[in-house]
Chain A
Amino acid sequence: MTAVPDQPPPLRRDRAGAIAGGVCSALGRRLGVDPVVFRVAFVAGSAAGGVGVLIYLLAWAAIPAEGERRWSPPRVPGSRESWQVASGIGLLVLAVLLLFREWDLWIGDALVWPVVLASAGGALIWRQSAATPAPPAARDARGPRSGGTALGRGALGVALVVCAGVVFLYLNDALRPARDVLLAVVALVVVLTLILAPLWLRLARGLAEERGERIRSQERAELAAHLHDSVLQTLALMQRRADDPKVVAGLARRQERELRAWLNGRPAAAGQGGTFAAALQSAAAEVEEAHHVEIDVVAVGDCSLDQDAEAVLGAAREALVNAAKFAGEHPVSVYAEAGAERIEVFVRDRGPGFDPGAVPGDRRGLRESVHGRMRRHGGEAVVHTGDGEGTEVELTLERRP
Protein backbone atom coordinates (compact mmCIF):
# COMPACT_ATOMS: atom_id res chain seq x y z
CA MET A 1 0.00 0.00 0.00
CA THR A 2 1.36 3.41 -0.88
CA ALA A 3 0.88 6.48 1.24
CA VAL A 4 -1.18 9.20 -0.41
CA PRO A 5 0.19 12.65 0.42
CA ASP A 6 -2.29 15.09 1.98
CA GLN A 7 -3.66 17.57 -0.56
CA PRO A 8 -3.52 21.18 0.65
CA PRO A 9 -6.99 22.76 1.01
CA PRO A 10 -8.12 25.15 -1.75
CA LEU A 11 -7.37 28.86 -1.40
CA ARG A 12 -10.66 30.19 -0.02
CA ARG A 13 -11.40 33.07 2.33
CA ASP A 14 -12.60 31.60 5.60
CA ARG A 15 -15.30 33.92 6.94
CA ALA A 16 -15.79 32.06 10.19
CA GLY A 17 -12.09 32.25 11.15
CA ALA A 18 -11.61 35.78 9.82
CA ILE A 19 -10.80 38.98 11.67
CA ALA A 20 -11.21 41.30 8.66
CA GLY A 21 -11.76 39.79 5.20
CA GLY A 22 -10.39 36.30 5.82
CA VAL A 23 -7.34 36.69 3.53
CA CYS A 24 -4.77 35.81 6.22
CA SER A 25 -6.89 32.89 7.33
CA ALA A 26 -7.05 31.64 3.73
CA LEU A 27 -3.28 31.95 3.22
CA GLY A 28 -2.55 30.24 6.53
CA ARG A 29 -4.89 27.42 5.71
CA ARG A 30 -3.42 26.93 2.26
CA LEU A 31 0.22 26.96 3.41
CA GLY A 32 -0.33 25.25 6.76
CA VAL A 33 0.94 28.29 8.66
CA ASP A 34 -0.66 30.13 11.56
CA PRO A 35 -2.65 33.08 10.06
CA VAL A 36 -1.23 35.33 12.80
CA VAL A 37 2.08 35.37 10.91
CA PHE A 38 0.36 36.82 7.81
CA ARG A 39 -1.63 39.29 9.92
CA VAL A 40 1.60 40.68 11.38
CA ALA A 41 3.08 40.88 7.88
CA PHE A 42 0.07 42.82 6.53
CA VAL A 43 0.05 45.21 9.50
CA ALA A 44 3.77 45.85 9.01
CA GLY A 45 3.25 46.35 5.27
CA SER A 46 0.40 48.77 5.94
CA ALA A 47 2.68 50.89 8.09
CA ALA A 48 5.09 51.18 5.16
CA GLY A 49 3.15 53.60 3.01
CA GLY A 50 -0.07 51.59 3.06
CA VAL A 51 1.19 48.94 0.64
CA GLY A 52 0.00 46.19 2.98
CA VAL A 53 -3.58 47.51 2.79
CA LEU A 54 -3.40 47.62 -0.99
CA ILE A 55 -2.10 44.05 -1.24
CA TYR A 56 -4.74 42.91 1.25
CA LEU A 57 -7.53 44.50 -0.79
CA LEU A 58 -6.20 42.93 -4.00
CA ALA A 59 -5.99 39.52 -2.31
CA TRP A 60 -9.47 39.98 -0.86
CA ALA A 61 -10.82 40.66 -4.34
CA ALA A 62 -8.88 37.80 -5.94
CA ILE A 63 -9.48 35.01 -3.41
CA PRO A 64 -13.03 33.59 -3.45
CA ALA A 65 -14.94 33.26 -0.20
CA GLU A 66 -15.98 30.03 1.44
CA GLY A 67 -19.00 29.05 3.52
CA GLU A 68 -19.29 29.29 7.27
CA ARG A 69 -17.23 26.19 8.02
CA ARG A 70 -14.71 26.94 10.73
CA TRP A 71 -11.11 25.97 10.25
CA SER A 72 -8.73 25.94 13.18
CA PRO A 73 -5.13 26.92 12.46
CA PRO A 74 -2.42 24.31 12.80
CA ARG A 75 -0.85 24.59 16.21
CA VAL A 76 2.53 22.95 16.46
CA PRO A 77 3.94 24.65 19.55
CA GLY A 78 7.68 24.83 19.63
CA SER A 79 8.18 22.79 16.46
CA ARG A 80 11.23 23.63 14.40
CA GLU A 81 9.22 24.02 11.20
CA SER A 82 6.87 26.58 12.75
CA TRP A 83 9.75 28.74 13.83
CA GLN A 84 11.41 28.41 10.41
CA VAL A 85 8.24 29.50 8.61
CA ALA A 86 7.62 32.39 11.01
CA SER A 87 11.26 33.54 10.79
CA GLY A 88 11.23 33.25 7.00
CA ILE A 89 8.09 35.36 6.64
CA GLY A 90 9.46 37.83 9.19
CA LEU A 91 12.72 38.26 7.24
CA LEU A 92 10.83 38.68 3.95
CA VAL A 93 8.61 41.36 5.49
CA LEU A 94 11.70 43.09 6.90
CA ALA A 95 13.31 43.00 3.45
CA VAL A 96 10.19 44.55 1.87
CA LEU A 97 10.08 47.25 4.57
CA LEU A 98 13.73 48.15 3.99
CA LEU A 99 13.09 48.31 0.26
CA PHE A 100 10.13 50.68 0.76
CA ARG A 101 12.29 52.77 3.05
CA GLU A 102 14.89 52.95 0.30
CA TRP A 103 12.23 54.05 -2.20
CA ASP A 104 10.87 56.68 0.24
CA LEU A 105 7.49 54.95 0.48
CA TRP A 106 7.81 55.49 4.18
CA ILE A 107 5.79 57.20 6.87
CA GLY A 108 8.78 57.47 9.17
CA ASP A 109 11.03 55.39 11.41
CA ALA A 110 9.33 56.78 14.49
CA LEU A 111 6.07 55.09 13.55
CA VAL A 112 6.86 52.05 11.37
CA TRP A 113 9.36 50.20 13.60
CA PRO A 114 7.27 50.53 16.79
CA VAL A 115 4.19 49.35 14.84
CA VAL A 116 6.13 46.34 13.50
CA LEU A 117 7.42 45.41 16.97
CA ALA A 118 4.07 45.97 18.66
CA SER A 119 2.15 43.95 16.08
CA ALA A 120 4.58 41.02 16.37
CA GLY A 121 4.48 41.12 20.18
CA GLY A 122 0.71 41.60 20.25
CA ALA A 123 0.25 38.66 17.91
CA LEU A 124 2.32 36.41 20.18
CA ILE A 125 0.35 37.47 23.28
CA TRP A 126 -2.98 37.18 21.48
CA ARG A 127 -2.11 33.76 20.11
CA GLN A 128 -1.07 32.55 23.55
CA SER A 129 -4.23 33.78 25.26
CA ALA A 130 -6.47 32.44 22.47
CA ALA A 131 -4.90 28.97 22.55
CA THR A 132 -7.06 26.25 24.07
CA PRO A 133 -5.35 24.62 27.05
CA ALA A 134 -4.29 21.08 26.26
CA PRO A 135 -5.77 18.22 28.28
CA PRO A 136 -3.55 16.83 31.05
CA ALA A 137 -2.81 13.63 29.11
CA ALA A 138 -1.59 15.63 26.11
CA ARG A 139 0.54 17.83 28.39
CA ASP A 140 2.09 14.72 29.94
CA ALA A 141 2.81 13.33 26.47
CA ARG A 142 4.48 16.57 25.35
CA GLY A 143 6.64 16.65 28.43
CA PRO A 144 7.42 19.31 31.00
CA ARG A 145 9.02 21.67 28.45
CA SER A 146 5.75 22.49 26.67
CA GLY A 147 4.55 24.75 29.50
CA GLY A 148 7.90 26.53 29.57
CA THR A 149 7.82 27.09 25.80
CA ALA A 150 4.33 28.61 25.96
CA LEU A 151 5.40 30.86 28.82
CA GLY A 152 8.50 31.87 26.86
CA ARG A 153 6.38 32.84 23.84
CA GLY A 154 4.11 34.96 26.02
CA ALA A 155 7.12 36.62 27.69
CA LEU A 156 8.67 37.31 24.27
CA GLY A 157 5.40 38.95 23.16
CA VAL A 158 5.30 41.18 26.24
CA ALA A 159 8.98 42.10 25.75
CA LEU A 160 8.33 43.04 22.11
CA VAL A 161 5.36 45.26 22.99
CA VAL A 162 7.32 46.98 25.78
CA CYS A 163 10.24 47.39 23.39
CA ALA A 164 7.89 48.93 20.81
CA GLY A 165 6.68 51.46 23.37
CA VAL A 166 10.22 52.37 24.40
CA VAL A 167 11.37 52.67 20.77
CA PHE A 168 8.36 54.85 19.93
CA LEU A 169 9.02 57.18 22.87
CA TYR A 170 12.75 57.29 22.11
CA LEU A 171 12.34 58.05 18.41
CA ASN A 172 9.80 60.77 19.22
CA ASP A 173 12.19 62.30 21.74
CA ALA A 174 9.74 61.78 24.56
CA LEU A 175 12.24 59.96 26.75
CA ARG A 176 14.61 62.93 27.20
CA PRO A 177 12.79 64.45 30.22
CA ALA A 178 12.55 61.05 31.86
CA ARG A 179 16.12 60.01 31.02
CA ASP A 180 17.49 60.45 34.52
CA VAL A 181 14.59 58.57 36.09
CA LEU A 182 14.87 55.85 33.46
CA LEU A 183 18.60 55.45 34.09
CA ALA A 184 17.94 55.14 37.81
CA VAL A 185 15.27 52.51 37.19
CA VAL A 186 17.53 50.54 34.82
CA ALA A 187 20.39 50.67 37.34
CA LEU A 188 18.04 49.51 40.10
CA VAL A 189 16.75 46.63 37.98
CA VAL A 190 20.31 45.53 37.13
CA VAL A 191 21.37 45.68 40.79
CA LEU A 192 18.29 43.79 41.96
CA THR A 193 18.77 41.18 39.24
CA LEU A 194 22.38 40.62 40.26
CA ILE A 195 21.41 40.29 43.91
CA LEU A 196 18.28 38.22 43.50
CA ALA A 197 19.27 36.00 40.56
CA PRO A 198 21.11 33.36 42.69
CA LEU A 199 18.20 33.30 45.13
CA TRP A 200 15.70 32.91 42.35
CA LEU A 201 17.76 30.17 40.71
CA ARG A 202 18.06 28.31 44.01
CA LEU A 203 14.31 28.64 44.55
CA ALA A 204 13.54 27.34 41.05
CA ARG A 205 15.90 24.38 41.49
CA GLY A 206 14.42 23.62 44.90
CA LEU A 207 10.90 23.65 43.48
CA ALA A 208 11.94 21.34 40.64
CA GLU A 209 13.62 18.93 43.07
CA GLU A 210 10.59 18.98 45.36
CA ARG A 211 8.29 18.26 42.43
CA GLY A 212 10.53 15.39 41.28
CA GLU A 213 10.61 13.94 44.81
CA ARG A 214 6.82 14.18 45.05
CA ILE A 215 6.41 12.36 41.73
CA ARG A 216 8.87 9.64 42.81
CA SER A 217 7.07 9.29 46.14
CA GLN A 218 3.71 8.88 44.38
CA GLU A 219 5.20 6.30 42.02
CA ARG A 220 6.64 4.37 44.99
CA ALA A 221 3.24 4.46 46.72
CA GLU A 222 1.49 3.19 43.56
CA LEU A 223 4.05 0.40 43.20
CA ALA A 224 3.72 -0.57 46.87
CA ALA A 225 -0.09 -0.57 46.62
CA HIS A 226 0.03 -2.75 43.52
CA LEU A 227 2.46 -5.24 45.08
CA HIS A 228 0.36 -5.36 48.22
CA ASP A 229 -2.85 -6.01 46.32
CA SER A 230 -1.36 -8.66 44.08
CA VAL A 231 1.77 -10.45 45.25
CA LEU A 232 1.36 -10.08 49.02
CA GLN A 233 -2.30 -11.06 48.90
CA THR A 234 -1.50 -14.13 46.84
CA LEU A 235 1.35 -15.14 49.16
CA ALA A 236 -1.01 -14.82 52.13
CA LEU A 237 -3.57 -17.00 50.35
CA MET A 238 -0.91 -19.57 49.47
CA GLN A 239 0.07 -19.81 53.13
CA ARG A 240 -3.56 -20.44 54.07
CA ARG A 241 -3.95 -23.11 51.40
CA ALA A 242 -0.53 -24.71 51.91
CA ASP A 243 -2.16 -28.10 52.47
CA ASP A 244 -3.56 -28.20 48.91
CA PRO A 245 -0.71 -28.22 46.32
CA LYS A 246 -3.10 -27.87 43.34
CA VAL A 247 -4.68 -24.71 44.69
CA VAL A 248 -1.26 -23.29 45.56
CA ALA A 249 0.03 -24.02 42.05
CA GLY A 250 -3.07 -22.40 40.52
CA LEU A 251 -2.66 -19.29 42.64
CA ALA A 252 1.02 -19.06 41.72
CA ARG A 253 0.25 -19.42 37.99
CA ARG A 254 -2.44 -16.73 38.10
CA GLN A 255 -0.17 -14.38 40.01
CA GLU A 256 2.67 -15.00 37.59
CA ARG A 257 0.44 -14.17 34.60
CA GLU A 258 -0.83 -11.03 36.26
CA LEU A 259 2.66 -9.88 37.25
CA ARG A 260 4.04 -10.51 33.77
CA ALA A 261 1.17 -8.55 32.20
CA TRP A 262 1.80 -5.68 34.59
CA LEU A 263 5.56 -5.69 33.92
CA ASN A 264 4.88 -5.62 30.17
CA GLY A 265 2.69 -2.54 30.59
CA ARG A 266 -0.61 -4.22 29.81
CA PRO A 267 -3.50 -3.08 31.99
CA ALA A 268 -4.62 -5.52 34.67
CA ALA A 269 -8.18 -5.38 33.38
CA ALA A 270 -7.25 -6.21 29.79
CA GLY A 271 -9.65 -8.51 28.05
CA GLN A 272 -12.49 -7.62 30.41
CA GLY A 273 -14.30 -5.32 28.04
CA GLY A 274 -12.41 -2.22 29.08
CA THR A 275 -15.25 -0.75 31.16
CA PHE A 276 -15.42 -0.09 34.85
CA ALA A 277 -18.50 -2.22 35.55
CA ALA A 278 -17.09 -5.24 33.70
CA ALA A 279 -13.76 -4.93 35.50
CA LEU A 280 -15.52 -4.64 38.87
CA GLN A 281 -17.56 -7.77 38.16
CA SER A 282 -14.39 -9.57 37.15
CA ALA A 283 -12.52 -8.44 40.28
CA ALA A 284 -15.43 -9.56 42.46
CA ALA A 285 -15.43 -12.97 40.74
CA GLU A 286 -11.68 -13.35 41.36
CA VAL A 287 -12.02 -12.50 45.06
CA GLU A 288 -15.04 -14.77 45.34
CA GLU A 289 -13.07 -17.65 43.84
CA ALA A 290 -9.98 -17.05 45.95
CA HIS A 291 -11.73 -16.60 49.31
CA HIS A 292 -14.83 -18.76 48.81
CA VAL A 293 -17.20 -16.00 49.87
CA GLU A 294 -20.38 -15.00 48.06
CA ILE A 295 -20.18 -11.50 46.59
CA ASP A 296 -23.24 -9.74 45.16
CA VAL A 297 -22.45 -6.96 42.73
CA VAL A 298 -24.95 -4.33 41.59
CA ALA A 299 -23.52 -1.84 39.08
CA VAL A 300 -25.53 1.12 37.81
CA GLY A 301 -24.15 2.98 34.81
CA ASP A 302 -20.70 2.46 33.37
CA CYS A 303 -17.63 4.33 32.18
CA SER A 304 -14.36 3.68 30.43
CA LEU A 305 -11.52 2.20 32.44
CA ASP A 306 -9.15 5.17 32.54
CA GLN A 307 -6.52 5.84 35.23
CA ASP A 308 -9.03 7.28 37.71
CA ALA A 309 -11.45 4.40 37.23
CA GLU A 310 -8.57 1.94 37.65
CA ALA A 311 -7.68 3.58 40.96
CA VAL A 312 -11.26 3.17 42.23
CA LEU A 313 -11.22 -0.40 40.95
CA GLY A 314 -7.97 -1.14 42.82
CA ALA A 315 -9.32 0.36 46.04
CA ALA A 316 -12.62 -1.52 45.64
CA ARG A 317 -10.76 -4.79 45.07
CA GLU A 318 -8.74 -4.27 48.24
CA ALA A 319 -11.94 -3.46 50.17
CA LEU A 320 -13.50 -6.63 48.74
CA VAL A 321 -10.52 -8.75 49.85
CA ASN A 322 -10.76 -7.29 53.37
CA ALA A 323 -14.51 -7.87 53.43
CA ALA A 324 -14.08 -11.44 52.16
CA LYS A 325 -11.55 -12.18 54.91
CA PHE A 326 -13.82 -11.01 57.71
CA ALA A 327 -17.34 -11.56 56.37
CA GLY A 328 -17.53 -15.12 57.68
CA GLU A 329 -20.54 -16.97 56.29
CA HIS A 330 -22.37 -13.80 55.26
CA PRO A 331 -22.30 -12.57 51.67
CA VAL A 332 -20.49 -9.37 50.74
CA SER A 333 -22.46 -6.77 48.80
CA VAL A 334 -21.09 -4.27 46.34
CA TYR A 335 -23.05 -1.35 44.92
CA ALA A 336 -21.41 0.82 42.26
CA GLU A 337 -22.57 3.88 40.36
CA ALA A 338 -20.34 4.98 37.51
CA GLY A 339 -20.83 7.89 35.17
CA ALA A 340 -18.91 10.42 33.13
CA GLU A 341 -18.51 12.77 36.10
CA ARG A 342 -18.46 10.60 39.20
CA ILE A 343 -17.76 7.05 40.38
CA GLU A 344 -19.11 5.73 43.67
CA VAL A 345 -18.59 2.25 45.12
CA PHE A 346 -19.94 0.85 48.39
CA VAL A 347 -18.51 -2.43 49.70
CA ARG A 348 -20.45 -3.80 52.67
CA ASP A 349 -19.97 -6.88 54.81
CA ARG A 350 -21.75 -8.15 57.91
CA GLY A 351 -18.61 -9.27 59.71
CA PRO A 352 -17.57 -8.36 63.24
CA GLY A 353 -16.39 -4.85 62.28
CA PHE A 354 -13.23 -3.26 63.68
CA ASP A 355 -11.74 -0.17 65.23
CA PRO A 356 -9.88 1.74 62.48
CA GLY A 357 -7.73 3.47 65.09
CA ALA A 358 -6.47 0.14 66.38
CA VAL A 359 -5.08 -1.04 63.01
CA PRO A 360 -1.25 -1.43 63.34
CA GLY A 361 0.84 1.07 61.37
CA ASP A 362 2.61 -1.60 59.33
CA ARG A 363 -0.68 -2.84 57.80
CA ARG A 364 -0.81 -1.19 54.39
CA GLY A 365 -4.08 -2.58 52.98
CA LEU A 366 -6.62 -0.02 54.17
CA ARG A 367 -4.12 2.80 54.68
CA GLU A 368 -2.33 2.73 51.33
CA SER A 369 -4.28 0.53 48.93
CA VAL A 370 -7.62 2.17 49.77
CA HIS A 371 -7.18 5.58 51.42
CA GLY A 372 -3.80 6.45 49.85
CA ARG A 373 -4.79 5.31 46.38
CA MET A 374 -8.05 7.27 46.40
CA ARG A 375 -6.33 10.37 47.76
CA ARG A 376 -3.62 10.28 45.06
CA HIS A 377 -6.29 10.35 42.38
CA GLY A 378 -8.34 13.12 43.98
CA GLY A 379 -10.98 10.84 45.49
CA GLU A 380 -12.04 9.91 49.00
CA ALA A 381 -12.52 6.70 50.97
CA VAL A 382 -14.72 6.60 54.08
CA VAL A 383 -14.98 3.54 56.33
CA HIS A 384 -18.15 3.12 58.39
CA THR A 385 -17.60 0.44 61.01
CA GLY A 386 -17.74 -0.41 64.65
CA ASP A 387 -17.49 -3.51 66.83
CA GLY A 388 -20.25 -5.93 65.83
CA GLU A 389 -21.72 -3.57 63.23
CA GLY A 390 -20.15 -4.89 60.07
CA THR A 391 -18.14 -2.64 57.74
CA GLU A 392 -19.00 -0.42 54.83
CA VAL A 393 -16.27 1.13 52.68
CA GLU A 394 -17.49 4.10 50.64
CA LEU A 395 -15.32 5.16 47.69
CA THR A 396 -16.08 8.40 45.85
CA LEU A 397 -14.18 9.98 43.01
CA GLU A 398 -15.08 13.00 40.86
CA ARG A 399 -13.73 12.26 37.39
CA ARG A 400 -11.53 14.81 35.63
CA PRO A 401 -12.82 16.04 32.27
Chain B
Amino acid sequence: MTPRGFDPASLVAGLAVCGLGTLLLLDQLEVLRLSFGYVAPALLATVGVILLAAGLAGRR
Protein backbone atom coordinates (compact mmCIF):
# COMPACT_ATOMS: atom_id res chain seq x y z
CA MET B 1 0.00 0.00 0.00
CA THR B 2 1.43 3.35 -0.99
CA PRO B 3 1.22 6.17 1.59
CA ARG B 4 -0.96 9.10 0.50
CA GLY B 5 0.27 12.65 0.92
CA PHE B 6 -1.55 15.44 2.71
CA ASP B 7 -4.42 16.75 0.60
CA PRO B 8 -5.54 20.22 1.78
CA ALA B 9 -8.57 20.17 -0.52
CA SER B 10 -9.92 17.02 1.14
CA LEU B 11 -9.35 18.54 4.60
CA VAL B 12 -11.20 21.76 3.71
CA ALA B 13 -14.02 19.80 2.05
CA GLY B 14 -14.33 17.57 5.12
CA LEU B 15 -14.40 20.54 7.51
CA ALA B 16 -16.97 22.36 5.37
CA VAL B 17 -19.28 19.35 5.26
CA CYS B 18 -18.79 18.86 9.04
CA GLY B 19 -19.75 22.51 9.58
CA LEU B 20 -22.86 22.16 7.46
CA GLY B 21 -23.80 18.93 9.22
CA THR B 22 -23.38 20.61 12.62
CA LEU B 23 -25.69 23.45 11.57
CA LEU B 24 -28.35 21.01 10.37
CA LEU B 25 -28.01 18.96 13.55
CA LEU B 26 -28.43 22.06 15.72
CA ASP B 27 -31.51 22.90 13.69
CA GLN B 28 -32.91 19.41 14.31
CA LEU B 29 -32.19 19.75 18.02
CA GLU B 30 -34.00 23.11 17.92
CA VAL B 31 -30.97 24.91 19.25
CA LEU B 32 -31.05 26.98 16.05
CA ARG B 33 -34.01 27.86 13.87
CA LEU B 34 -32.83 27.70 10.28
CA SER B 35 -35.17 28.82 7.52
CA PHE B 36 -34.64 28.18 3.81
CA GLY B 37 -33.18 31.69 3.60
CA TYR B 38 -30.26 30.50 5.77
CA VAL B 39 -29.96 26.87 4.61
CA ALA B 40 -29.61 27.81 0.91
CA PRO B 41 -26.63 30.16 1.45
CA ALA B 42 -25.04 27.59 3.76
CA LEU B 43 -25.32 24.88 1.12
CA LEU B 44 -23.99 27.19 -1.60
CA ALA B 45 -21.12 28.32 0.62
CA THR B 46 -20.18 24.71 1.40
CA VAL B 47 -20.04 23.74 -2.27
CA GLY B 48 -18.21 26.99 -3.04
CA VAL B 49 -15.57 26.40 -0.39
CA ILE B 50 -15.02 22.82 -1.62
CA LEU B 51 -14.65 23.96 -5.24
CA LEU B 52 -12.35 26.81 -4.26
CA ALA B 53 -10.14 24.54 -2.16
CA ALA B 54 -9.98 21.90 -4.91
CA GLY B 55 -9.11 24.52 -7.51
CA LEU B 56 -6.42 26.20 -5.45
CA ALA B 57 -4.93 22.85 -4.39
CA GLY B 58 -4.87 21.69 -8.02
CA ARG B 59 -2.97 24.82 -9.10
CA ARG B 60 -0.19 24.11 -6.61
Q: Assess A91 versus B56: contact at CB under 8 Å? Given A84-B51, A101-B37, A102-B37.
A: no
Dominant SS among interface residues on chain B: helix
Query: Among the listed stretches A60-68, A92-100, A327-335, A337-345, which one makes contact with chain B, having 4 or more residues with CB under 8 Å of it?
Result: A92-100
Indicate if the CB atoms of B60 and A91 lie closer than 8 Å: no
Determine how close the nearest CB of chain B comes to the CB of A63; give it in whole angstroms. Answer: 19
Nearest 5 pairs of A and B residues by beta carbon: A88-B52, A91-B48, A84-B55, A88-B51, A85-B55
A18 at the interface (CB under 8 A from B): no
Indicate if the CB atoms of B49 and A88 lie closer than 8 Å: yes
B47 at the interface (CB under 8 A from A): yes
Interface mask (A93-134 → B, CB under 8 Å = 1, otherwise 0) = 011101101100000000000000000000000000000000
A87 at the interface (CB under 8 A from B): yes
A32 at the interface (CB under 8 A from B): yes
B54 at the interface (CB under 8 A from A): yes
Indicate if the CB atoms of A89 and B56 lie closer than 8 Å: no
Indicate if the CB atoms of A91 and B59 lie closer than 8 Å: no
Determine how close the nearest CB of chain B comes to the CB of A228; give it in whole angstroms. Answer: 49
9 contacts between A and B (CB under 8 A): A81-B56, A84-B51, A85-B51, A88-B47, A89-B48, A92-B44, A92-B45, A95-B48, A98-B41
Q: Assess A80 versus B58: contact at CB under 8 Å? Given A87-B51, A95-B42, A95-B48.
A: yes
Q: Which chain A residue has the least Cβ–Cβ distance from B40?
A: A98
For the A-B complex, the count of residue pairs with Cβ-Cβ distances under 8 Å equals 74
Determine how close the nearest CB of chain B comes to the CB of A395; give it in whole angstroms. Answer: 47
Indicate if the CB atoms of B50 and A102 lie closer than 8 Å: no
Indicate if the CB atoms of B48 and A102 lie closer than 8 Å: no
Task: Give the distance in Å from the alpha carbon of A31 to the alpha carbon of B54 in the complex.
Answer: 13
Interface mask (A1-42 → B, CB under 8 Å = 1, otherwise 0) = 000011000000000000000000000000111000000000
Which of these, B48, B51, B56, B58, contacts A31 with CB under 8 Å? B56
Q: Assess A96 versus B41: contact at CB under 8 Å? Given A5-B60, A80-B58, A81-B58.
A: yes
A353 at the interface (CB under 8 A from B): no
Q: Which chain A residue has the least Cβ–Cβ distance from B48?
A: A91
Which of these, A32, A90, A101, contacts B48 with CB under 8 Å? A90
Determine how close the nearest CB of chain B comes to the CB of A11; give it in whole angstroms. Answer: 15
Task: Give the distance in Å from the alpha carbon of A99 to the alpha carbon of B36 in the complex.
Answer: 11
Task: Give the distance in Å from the alpha carbon of A89 to the alpha carbon of B51 in the complex.
Answer: 8
Q: Assess A102 versus B44: contact at CB under 8 Å? Given A5-B60, A31-B56, A32-B56.
A: no
* Chain A residues in 8 Å Cβ range of B58: 80-81, 84
How many residues belonging to B are interface residues under a CB distance threshold of 8 Å?
21
* Chain B residues in 8 Å Cβ range of A31: 56
B38 at the interface (CB under 8 A from A): yes
A82 at the interface (CB under 8 A from B): yes
Q: Which chain B residue has the least Cβ–Cβ distance from A100?
A: B41
Determine how close the nearest CB of chain A comes to the CB of B59; give it in whole angstroms. Answer: 5
Task: Give the distance in Å from the alpha carbon of A91 to the alpha carbon of B51 in the complex.
Answer: 9
Which of these, A5, A82, A95, contacts B45 with CB under 8 Å? A95
Task: Give the distance in Å from the alpha carbon of A116 to the alpha carbon of B36 in the complex.
Answer: 22
Task: Give the distance in Å from the alpha carbon of A32 to the alpha carbon of B56 in the complex.
Answer: 8
Which of these, B37, B41, B52, contacts A89 with CB under 8 Å? B52
Which of these, B37, B38, B48, B56, contacts A92 with CB under 8 Å? B48
Taking each of A5, A83, A94, which has the highest tally of chain B beta carbons within 10 Å of its own beta carbon?
A94
Indicate if the CB atoms of B44 and A98 lie closer than 8 Å: yes
Indicate if the CB atoms of B55 and A82 lie closer than 8 Å: yes
Which of these, B35, B37, B42, B54, contacts A84 with CB under 8 Å? B54
* Chain B residues in 8 Å Cβ range of A89: 48, 52
Interface mask (A170-201 → B, CB under 8 Å = 1, otherwise 0) = 00000000000000000000000000000000
Indicate if the CB atoms of B47 and A85 lie closer than 8 Å: no
Determine how close the nearest CB of chain B comes to the CB of A153; give it in whole angstroms. Answer: 17
* Chain B residues in 8 Å Cβ range of A92: 44-45, 48-49, 52
Indicate if the CB atoms of B41 and A102 lie closer than 8 Å: yes
Q: Which chain B residue has the least Cβ–Cβ distance from A32?
A: B59
* Chain A residues in 8 Å Cβ range of B49: 88, 92
Q: Which chain B residue has the least Cβ–Cβ distance from A84?
A: B55
* Chain B residues in 8 Å Cβ range of A84: 51-52, 54-55, 58
Known pairs A81-B54, A92-B45, A94-B48 / 11 extra A-B pairs, C-beta < 8 Å: A32-B56, A81-B56, A85-B52, A88-B53, A92-B44, A95-B41, A95-B42, A98-B41, A99-B38, A101-B37, A102-B35
